[in-house]
Amino acid sequence: MLLCIVRIFACSSAATAHFSVYLYIGNYCYAMNPHIASEI
């Protein structure tokens, strides 16, 4: 779960070319752990 949060935060500082990849991973983690939204 923590890794998912780290990856979501990494999105904001990732290069544009990598943004979509991090965003996909972040969305996947969010879908698996809906409660993450309340922890951010």
| Mean predicted confidence (pLDDT) in 20-40 | 69
Q: What pTM value is reported for the model?
A: 0.32
In angstroms, rounded to a whole number, what is the distance separating the alpha carbons of residues 38 and 32?
A: 14
Q: How far is CA 10 from CA 13, 23, 37, in A?
A: 5, 9, 16
- Round the CA-based radius of gyration of the chain to a whole number and report it: 10
Domain coordinates of the chain in residue numbers? 2-39
Model confidence over 6-27: pLDDT tens digits? Answer: 776 665 565 555 667 777 777 7
